[in-house]
Structure formats: C-alpha cells, structure tokens
Amino acid sequence: MCYNIDMEKENKQSDINIYGLSGNYMQIELLITRYCTYNCEHCMYDCGTHESKEYMSDEILAKVKKQVDFLKQINMHVCVNLIGGEPTINFDKFSHIFKEVETWNTPVSMTTNGWWLSSRKNIERFFETVAPYVNKDGKSHWEYGDNSGLTIRISVDPFHDKKRKTKDIQEALNNIFSDYDLLLKYNVPIPYPTDPWLWKQINIIDGEDRYYIAPNGRGKNVSNIKEWMNKYSKDGNFCMYNFNRIENIHYEPDGHITDTCGFGSMYDFGTVDDNVVYILELIWQYKKDRWQNKDNQKFGCWNCREMVQEWKNRNFEKYKQHFSSLNTMDMEKWLVSITER
C-alpha cells in the first residue's frame, strides 16, 4: 500500500515523484550469513569457512522490514534477495529467515551455490523450505506484485564448479523434477514434460556472469574485469554506465551496508538503522563527485573500493550533515524534509 496522503500533502507526494523514487524498482540484498562451505577464489565478499556461522538476527530482520515498508510507502517496487556466504548451510536458520521474509508482502529471490544437490537428504530439506512458497503459476519475482513467487538462482561458473560435488546442474535438476515421489511429498504439482512449472523459478547463472568478473574481495586476483570493461563500457566503470539514483542495497548479517553495485565495491555509508533513501543520496553524491572530478579517472571498477574510501575520508562528514534531514524513519518528517531541500 502506498503512503496515504490527504490533499494538503499532495505537493509532497509530487516531490517524491520528482525526486526520482516513486514507481522505481529496487532490490534489497540480505547477506544472511558470511559462512560458506566453499572458499572460492572469486568471492567478492571474502566469505568462506573462516567466517562466523552466525545468521542475521530477528532484530536486524525487523529493521530491514521497516526499510522495506518505508520504500513501499513511497511507491517503490521492492524485491528481497537472500544471499551469503551460502544461505542454506544451516537449513533451520535459513528456513526461519526465509519464512519471515515471505511475510513481508514483497517478491523474494535467493542465490545458492547448489551444494545441497549432491544429497537426497539435503535436497528434501531445501524443498521442504521453499516448495510451499514457489508460485504455482510460474510467475517470476521480476513481474511486479506482492508475493509474486520465489526465484532461485544457482551459480554456474568455474569457481563454484571446482568446489561443487555435483558438476552437471542441469542433470541434477532434471532428476529432481522427474522424481514424482519427491514432488508429491511436498505438494508440488507434477510438471508437464515440455514446460515444468518450476523451471520458471530457477535461473542457472552462467556465461559472463558478475560472479566471474567481480574485481573486489578475493575476486580481484582472478577477475577479467578490464577486458570486460573495454568491451562494454567506454569510461572504465559501471557506476557511470548505469548512472542512476537507485541502487541495490546489501546488508551484512550485523546490519551494516557493504555493497551496492554487485561487483564488490564497498559503500560503507551506513547501517540498517539509517534511512535507506538517505544512504541512496550519499551514494548518489559520491557518483556525481566521481563523474565531475577529472582526478577520479585513474579509478575504475577494478579499484573502486579505494576510490570510495578516498571520497569518504575527504567528503563524508560534509555530505552526512547535508543530507541529515533525510535520515528519519518518520514519514511525516521525511516528506517535510524533501520539500525543503
């Protein structure tokens, strides 16, 4: 439901539209745990077996929900994506978080390395959690709407394949979808041979995928990002190529914001306690400064973390103060603040 405003506040709602937010799509990325059974060379988040097995707490989840509700009130389309680490390492904790997020009345997706495909027991645990929530008419989460199904992403790249026991993901999924006993056990409709309903819910990620080219984290040493940038971007970075106000916001298990572009750049400008639009404004200002300052041309996607940190050391406190009026979860105060800007 969008924010309910009376005639006196009509101009403020119009300002939201001018502000470039209303009607836009935004993805909230929940890095629900940093632990992973794999230590892939490319990992943008430096996750692996050395990390804590702790999951995102109910307290942090509740604060994320407030952020999601706030964005929906200003008429933004929000999708929540569960990532890691590997989100399914602890099925009980994954199930607890998954079921909570599914009550938020917003599309949900998840990304998994598919480690569970090699074990019938783990396949059943996975299905036990997700099957009740997969949309039976095959709609994906990209189709705007409340609770429009679950999209499952399984990464296929040289790094995950090297670690994963199951090498042929396509065959493994075919075996699942042809296992009628398993499908019936979890009340999954038996698929049509030519168009299984669940195929519309699972994306097998391959090719020139961002997991392969991510230049930051451990991926910096194995990335082919410069080759990719020469092919697709004329100015050496994708935050200029996709120069817009809306970003994906990534929350760590402790609620800190760590990444927005998906290539591993660290925009550590706040936490889940800050208003998400305030965070977006800080990122937007960083991108504008980067665009306008010719000295910044020495930076590209392959050293973006260094660029962000340099900008933060130089400008963060000034802009933090400048945008401070936006940093409120009180909708009335927030609407006043944007009309006064």
In tens digits, the chain (341 residues) has pLDDT values of 333 334 344 455 555 655 667 777 888 999 999 999 999 888 888 899 999 999 999 999 999 999 999 999 888 888 899 999 999 999 999 999 999 998 898 888 888 888 998 888 998 888 888 877 765 554 444 444 444 567 788 877 778 888 888 888 878 877 777 777 877 777 665 554 444 434 444 554 444 455 556 667 777 777 777 777 777 665 666 665 555 667 788 899 999 988 776 666 778 889 999 999 899 888 888 888 877 766 656 667 777 788 888 889 989 999 999 999 999 999 989 888 887 76
Q: Is residue 210 part of a domain?
A: yes
Burial classification of residue 279, based on how many CB atoms lie within 10 Å of its CB (0-12 exposed, 13-18 middle, 19 or more buried): buried
The pTM of this model reads 0.84
Q: Is residue 114 part of a domain?
A: yes
Taking CB atoms within 8 Å and a gap of at least 24, the contacts of 335-338 are: 335/5, 335/9, 335/12, 335/13, 335/15, 335/16, 336/12, 338/12, 338/15, 338/16, 338/19
Gap between the Cα atoms of 262 and 307, Å rounded: 16
Please choose, from the candidates 341, 319, 321, 337, the residue with its C-alpha nearest in 3D space to the C-alpha of residue 329. Answer: 337
Q: What is the pLDDT, as a whole number, of residue 241?
A: 54
At residue 259, what are phi and psi to the nearest 5 degrees?
-155, 145
| Residue partners of 86: CB distance under 8 A and separation at least 6 | 33, 35, 36, 37, 38, 47, 112, 113, 115
Q: Which two tokens stand for residue 164?
A: 């994963």
In this structure, the dihedral spanned by the alpha carbons of residues 234, 235, 238 and 240, taken in order and rounded to 10 degrees, is: -120
Q: Is residue 18 part of a domain?
A: yes
Burial classification of residue 252, based on how many CB atoms lie within 10 Å of its CB (0-12 exposed, 13-18 middle, 19 or more buried): buried
Q: Is residue 178 part of a domain?
A: yes
Give the count of domains, the chain: 1
In this structure, the dihedral spanned by the alpha carbons of residues 123, 126, 131 and 133, taken in order and rounded to 10 degrees, is: -160
Going edge to edge, which strands form the sheet with 77-84? 202-205, 150-155, 108-112, 77-84, 25-33, 249-251
Helix axes 10-18, 331-339, angle to 10 degrees: 70
Residue 111: domain span? 7-339
- What phi-psi label fits residue 335: left (phi over 0), alpha (psi between -120 and 50 degrees) or beta? alpha
Q: Is residue 106 part of a domain?
A: yes
Strands 202-205 and 108-112: unpaired
Gap between the Cα atoms of 19 and 15, Å rounded: 6
Q: Is residue 2 part of a domain?
A: no
